[in-house]
Amino acid sequence: MEPHEDKNKGDLSRRKFFQTAGITACALVSGGASILGFDFLRPRVLFELPTKFTLTRPDAIEVGSVITDEPHHVYVARSSHGFRALSSVCTHLGCITRYSPDEGIIACPCHGSKFALDGEVIAGPAPRPLPCLQLDLSPSGLIVVDTSIEVPQETVFKL
Amino acid sequence: MRNDGGGLDRIWFWFAAMSFVFLVVLAISPIKDYFREYRKYQIDYRDQLLERAGTSRELRDANREGVRIRQIWNPDYPNRVDRCTSCHLGVENPGMADASPPLRTHPMTPHTPEQFASFGCVTCHRGQGRATTMMDAHGLASDWATPMLPLRYTEASCGTCHMDEEVPEANLLSRGRTLMAELGCYACHEVDGHEAWESDAPDLDGLSRKTSPEWLRTWIADPQSVRPTTKMPYIQLGQSEIDSLVAFLWTRPAGEDDFLQDEENPAGDPDRGETLFRESRCISCHTVDGRGNGSAAELSGIASKVNRRWLIEYLENPHALQPETKMPRYYFTRQDLLDLSQYLMDELWDPEAPPPVEQAFRPPQKMVEGGMRTFRKYGCSGCHQISGLTDRSRIGPELTGIGRKPVDQLDFGRRDDLPRTLHDWIGAKVSSPRSFRDGLKMPQFILEGEDLTAVITALLSNTGEVIPEEYRVERVIANYDPPGRFGELVDRYRCLSCHEVEGVGGDISTAPLTVEGSRVQESWLKNYLLRPSTIRPILTDRMIPLRMPEEDAAFLANFMQNVYVDDDIPARLFSEEPDPANVRRGSHLFYERYGCQACHMIDGRGGYFGPLLDEAGVRLKPGWVYWWVLGSQRWRDDVRCPDYGVPDRDALDLAAFISSLGRTP
Amino acid sequence: MRKTTRILVYLAVGFGFVLAWLPAGRSLLFGSDPTDIDMNDSLQTEDIITDDAWRTPIPDLGYREREGRALFRHYCALCHGQSGEGDGFNAYNLDPKPRDLSDHEFQTAQTDEDLAEVIGGGGGDAGLSNAMPPWGKVLGERKIGYVIAYLRTLADSLPETD
């Protein structure tokens, strides 16, 4: 029965081959499909303001002055030491604060919190200082703010 | 056993085959994703960045560039996302100026690179910002309503927000808009914001007293062949239409036949007339054989156009015959009028003009009525006023929104040769309007080269889009009406034909009068009005001697001295005569430090582009000189006197020096 | 076995179709594709857009050169002349005479930065005549860039080499 056995063996190995190939392909399909599925769930682009954006040229901000970027809720202040970017969202209940150039402080209109230009709380119910944000310079020489990266309060960016 | 085994075999085989097919089908999506058009550019961009990186920081930034969709999203424009930067990667990177598109740096413009994030790309270039392939994004392959503007028309996009006629740093657009107003597009076409457009074409009443039917016929047939500089277009009328139109015009009001006889006006002295013609500086506005300012009519050939009696009447008081004319009323004596008209009639005739037929022209009534219909049909009343026809309705279609019209809404008619694009259609419409089909009425304008591109740009800029309020730069329509007796004199002398006051008036003169009282001294101004002297020898269009009575000059000078002042300009700079040391220092600064003599002449020394300063001490107020030196662009932003960034002390000394010129201590 | 071969042939054909459907695969199978873009062929977009056979002549100058021309004619041509040859009507009284800007050697010798420095800061600061005023405050960096872009179009063509 050797030939029979042989043939059977051949049949078996072919079946084995198809089995292995089929199952492997199946596994690849399901694995790939789930990866693609998750990839599909993650948006490629978002319809929101980018967290990293360019503002003006550094020399457009005079020493001692503050510019406000309303859409991104960011202040960029320039002191004699350098530049500093602050979020303008109050750490108390999320109101949008305002910079008052006369007093040189940032004030929240909702509950009267006041912040210094380095973000520290001067008065009012705010629990934390205003977050300090990452600053950079774009290749074309414009200020780049990245709101997704917070930096320590004392950080000052120099040109 | 074998059979069973064979059946199982087959099932396993099909299982494997189908799994493989599934795998292939599943692979399509990631493979397609892998071969995205922008991927190629993004990888190339990163390679180029790595190649160019000079510092470790640049190297780090370059390595961070991954393959992803990049976009500019501006919430002010609700439905706009510009993904152009997915391929045009280097637009914001000045280091890519020498790269080839699409990686090349965007050139510096008034809004870039500072405002990329708020303007995006589509705002200026049009196209489909959401698309991520070139054919779709540029709006070429799809039925996208607003495909990309060719680069030469991009300035049209400046005009979607800037409604003004003159848009800064958009020469082509400004030129196009000015041309549209000059050529009278708004006479026939309604366009939002230009309802108040006024034609400066002459009134057509009383032509039978002015000219001859023969001249009129030649003129209407083809105005540009008679006078190439005319703004009147070639209307392409048939012979019968021309005849009837002449008949109609001739009877408004009913003709006088004695235009050839002129017994009441004896011959004048043409030589004295010529002197008068030159003294009166007629070419400050008119041209003779193309020489002169060109804002008023060319005068060569005038003798063949008008008869002498009309000319005398017109020179005596232009406003009686053409109430809207820009020409001032000179105080000519009767002898002046005879001599001047004699000179014009003797010298300025057109050898090609048809000789007047010495026979009265009495057109039949039917022809006159036909002429009226022709007049209406071609919308002549859009530009010309004529008694008995008060309706000035516009005969052309409205043009608001033409700059964004989808191509499938355009009528290409016979023009199969045109590419199916909006700018080509507009270009052909403007340059050969009658070529589209029979029965069209738009006349033929002479528009070539850059002027044609300019007009196409101006039309493309009229998109009728609703732009967010904060982006709009509205058209400022200045309104100034000089009051009382001053107003009457300004009207009589037509000061505003050349001078600008508070944004109103012409631009022939380089001197706006808005702050004239702070600028010049009253006694000088009065003398200048009586006998204008040469201030800027380089100009052909200089102040005209109006021969006004002394009391008018005194009144005008006094009024301007008191009303046309600016409080920012110091009225009295020095309480006493400045120290000679300061004058000397000012002189040194004038010649050695700032090199003012490059343009200004004093005692015959120096350039002659700027005003002569010989009499500056008599003419200008010291406060004005001081204010001027500290920033002359505050007066007119196109003043050519450069801003040297003069320190205050230098400005005072320069004012002391210049105010000392021409004065006898 | 024959059957398997047939099936494999079917699969291969099927895979071929899929490949043909993919843009990248198509170029692999049939060579270059009409919608495929050559990275270095910068003119392609313009070709499609400006392929108009009719009469609009394309202006010779681009945006920056055109802006520069207007500025040059307004501010510079008085001394340097309409074509930049230093023959403006105000040039006769100047000593030294204004530079001939169309001179080929001058144009190649000066970088854009050199030109910007003299235009912006004036001749006096650059050790040249003080009759050349500083335009930096009036024009600003961008407009000076326009002017330089236009100046480059004024250069004489290369001198013939023998």
pLDDT level of residue B182 (50, 70, 90 thresholds): very high
Tell me what pLDDT residue C149 has.
92
Torsions phi, psi of A39, nearest 5? -60, -35
Q: Both ends of chain B: CA-CA distance in Å?
A: 136
Tell me what pLDDT residue B621 has.
93
Closest CA in chain B for residue C60 = B450
Q: Is C34 part of any domain?
A: yes
Residue of B80, B114, B132, B471 best to disrupt the A interface, most CBs of A under 10 A:
B114
Q: In chain B, what percentage of residues exceed pLDDT 70?
A: 96
Tell me what pLDDT residue C43 has.
27
Interaxial angle between packed helices B239-250 and B365-377, expressed in degrees from 0 to 180 and rounded to the nearest 10: 110
Nearest beta carbon to residue B28 from set C18, C39, C129: C18
Chains in contact with B, where contact means 3 or more Cβ–Cβ distances below 8 Å, are: A, C
Say yes or no for a CB contact (<8 Å) between B73 and A47.
yes
Residue of B9, B536, B592, B594 best to disrupt the C interface, most CBs of C under 10 A:
B594
Residues C63, C30 share a domain: no
Check if the beta carbon of residue B126 is closer than 8 Å to that of residue B82.
no
Nearest beta carbon to residue B9 from set A14, A23, A141: A14
pLDDT level of residue C19 (50, 70, 90 thresholds): low
Q: Tokens 């003419």 map to which residue?
A: B619
Nearest beta carbon to residue B12 from set A19, A139, A140: A19
pLDDT of residue B433 exceeding 90:
no
Q: Kindly report, residue by residue over B119-139, the tens digit of the pLDDT.
A: 889 999 999 999 988 888 998
B67: helix, strand or coil: coil
The number of helices, as runs of H, and strands, as runs of E, in chain A is 1, 10
CA-based nearest residue to C94, from B641, B596, B632, B585: B596
Say yes or no for a CB contact (<8 Å) between B593 and C130.
yes
Q: Kindly report, residue by residue over C39-75, the tens digit of the pLDDT.
A: 333 223 233 223 333 344 555 688 899 999 999 999 9
Residues C84, C33 share a domain: no
Q: Tokens 């008619």 map to which residue?
A: B413
Identify the H or E element spanning A68. strand A66-69
Tell me what pLDDT residue C31 has.
47
Q: Kindly report, residue by residue over B465-487, the tens digit of the pLDDT.
A: 888 888 888 888 888 888 899 99
pLDDT level of residue B529 (50, 70, 90 thresholds): very high
pLDDT of residue B87 exceeding 90:
yes
pLDDT of residue B399 exceeding 50:
yes
Q: Domain range for residue C24?
A: 2-38
Tell me what pLDDT residue B561 has.
94
Tell me what pLDDT residue B618 has.
92
Asked if the C-beta of A43 comes within 8 angstroms of chain B's C-beta atoms, the answer is no
Tell me what pLDDT residue C157 has.
63
Residues C142, C98 share a domain: yes
Q: Which chain B residues contact residue A11 at CB under 8 A?
A: 2, 5-6, 9
Residues C141, C90 share a domain: yes
Residue of B19, B58, B76, B79 best to disrupt the A interface, most CBs of A under 10 A:
B19
Tell me what pLDDT residue C38 has.
34
Q: Is C84 part of any domain?
A: yes
pLDDT level of residue B65 (50, 70, 90 thresholds): confident
Tell me what pLDDT residue A71 has.
82
Residues C129, C102 share a domain: yes
pLDDT level of residue A104 (50, 70, 90 thresholds): confident
For the whole model, what pTM was predicted? 0.84
Chains in contact with C, where contact means 3 or more Cβ–Cβ distances below 8 Å, are: B
ipTM reported for the complex surpasses 0.90 = no
Say yes or no for a CB contact (<8 Å) between B92 and A141.
no
Residues C79, C114 share a domain: yes
pLDDT of residue B602 exceeding 70:
yes
Asked if the C-beta of B93 comes within 8 angstroms of chain A's C-beta atoms, the answer is yes
Q: Is C47 part of any domain?
A: no
Closest CA in chain B for residue A48 = B73
Asked if the C-beta of C57 comes within 8 angstroms of chain B's C-beta atoms, the answer is yes
What mean pLDDT is reported for chain C?
Answer: 74
Residues C64, C23 share a domain: no
Minimum distance, in Å, between the CA of residue B106 and any CA atom of chain A? 11
Residues C122, C79 share a domain: yes
Q: Is C44 part of any domain?
A: no
Q: Is C43 part of any domain?
A: no
Tell me what pLDDT residue A61 has.
86
Residue of A19, A28, A29 best to disrupt the B interface, most CBs of B under 10 A:
A29
Q: Kindly report, residue by residue over C93-117, the tens digit of the pLDDT.
A: 787 888 888 888 888 888 999 999 9
pLDDT of residue B13 exceeding 60:
yes
User: What CATH number does the domain containing C129 carry?
Assistant: 1.10.760.10
Say yes or no for a CB contact (<8 Å) between A25 and B114.
no
Torsions phi, psi of B287, nearest 5? -120, 150
Tell me what pLDDT residue B340 has.
94
Say yes or no for a CB contact (<8 Å) between B172 and C90.
no
Tell me what pLDDT residue C39 has.
31
* Cα–Cα distance measured from residue B560 to residue B555, given in angstroms and rounded to the nearest whole number: 9
Instruction: Give the domains, in start order, of chain B with CATH numbers.
Output: 37-148 (no CATH), 171-182+398-471 (no CATH), 207-382 (1.10.760.10), 484-563 (1.10.760.10), 580-659 (1.10.760.10)
Q: Which chain A residues contact residue B15 at CB under 8 A?
A: 18-19, 22, 26
Q: Tokens 């993004």 map to which residue?
A: B42
Q: Is C63 part of any domain?
A: yes
pLDDT of residue B141 exceeding 90:
no
pLDDT of residue C33 exceeding 70:
no
Q: Kindly report, residue by residue over B194-204, the tens digit of the pLDDT.
A: 888 888 899 89
Say yes or no for a CB contact (<8 Å) between B642 and C138.
yes
Q: Kindly report, residue by residue over A112-146, the tens digit of the pLDDT.
A: 889 988 888 988 898 999 999 988 888 778 888 88
Check if the beta carbon of residue B477 is closer than 8 Å to that of residue B196.
yes
Residue of B643, B646, B650 best to disrupt the C interface, most CBs of C under 10 A:
B643
pLDDT level of residue C1 (50, 70, 90 thresholds): low
Q: Which chain B residues contact residue C129 at CB under 8 A?
A: 595
Residue of B45, B172, B429 best to disrupt the C interface, most CBs of C under 10 A:
B172
Closest CA in chain B for residue C13 = B21
pLDDT of residue C145 exceeding 90:
yes
**DSSP result, A82-138:** -EEEEE-B-TTT-PBPEEETTTTEEE-TTT--EE-TTS-EEESS--SPPPEEEEEE-
pLDDT of residue B258 exceeding 60:
no
Question: What mean pLDDT do residues C89-93 have?
Answer: 82
Tell me what pLDDT residue C54 has.
39
Tell me what pLDDT residue A11 has.
60
Tell me what pLDDT residue C162 has.
46
3-state helix, strand, coil in chain A (%, to 5): 25, 30, 45
pLDDT of residue B142 exceeding 70:
no
pLDDT of residue A2 exceeding 50:
no
CA-based nearest residue to B283, from B528, B499, B532, B542: B542
Q: Which chain A residues contact residue B71 at CB under 8 A?
A: 45
What are B313's two structure tokens?
A: 């009447």
Say yes or no for a CB contact (<8 Å) between B24 and C7.
no
Q: Which B-chain residues 67-86 have CB contacts (< 8 A) with chain A?
A: 68-69, 71, 73, 75, 81, 83
Tell me what pLDDT residue B624 has.
95
pLDDT of residue B587 exceeding 90:
yes
Nearest beta carbon to residue A32 from set B13, B26, B69: B26
Asked if the C-beta of C18 comes within 8 angstroms of chain B's C-beta atoms, the answer is yes
Residues C24, C85 share a domain: no
Question: What mean pLDDT do residues B5-13 have?
Answer: 77
Asked if the C-beta of A104 comes within 8 angstroms of chain B's C-beta atoms, the answer is no
Tell me what pLDDT residue A8 has.
53
pLDDT of residue B449 exceeding 50:
yes
What are B175's two structure tokens?
A: 């030129």
pLDDT of residue B255 exceeding 60:
no
Nearest beta carbon to residue C37 from set B31, B37, B448: B37
Asked if the C-beta of A25 comes within 8 angstroms of chain B's C-beta atoms, the answer is yes
pLDDT level of residue C23 (50, 70, 90 thresholds): low
Q: Kindly report, residue by residue over B284-317, the tens digit of the pLDDT.
A: 999 998 888 888 889 988 998 988 889 999 999 9
- Mention every residue, 6+ apart, whose C-beta is less than 8 A from residue B636: B510, B512
Q: Is C7 part of any domain?
A: yes
Question: What mean pLDDT do residues B314-321 have?
Answer: 92
Tell me what pLDDT residue C50 has.
30
Say yes or no for a CB contact (<8 Å) between B113 and A142.
yes
Residues C89, C11 share a domain: no
Interaxial angle between packed helices B334-347 and B270-279, expressed in degrees from 0 to 180 and rounded to the nearest 10: 100
Q: Which chain B residues contact residue C89 at CB under 8 A?
A: 538, 609
Minimum distance, in Å, between the CA of residue A122 and any CA atom of chain B? 34
Residues C138, C70 share a domain: yes
What mean pLDDT is reported for chain B?
Answer: 88
pLDDT of residue C158 exceeding 80:
no
Q: Kindly report, residue by residue over B363-387, the tens digit of the pLDDT.
A: 888 898 899 888 988 889 889 988 8
Nearest beta carbon to residue C142 from set B108, B135, B427: B108
Asked if the C-beta of C160 comes within 8 angstroms of chain B's C-beta atoms, the answer is no
CA R_g for chain C: 29
Residues C17, C66 share a domain: no
Minimum distance, in Å, between the CA of residue B607 and any CA atom of chain C? 6
The domain total for chain C is: 2
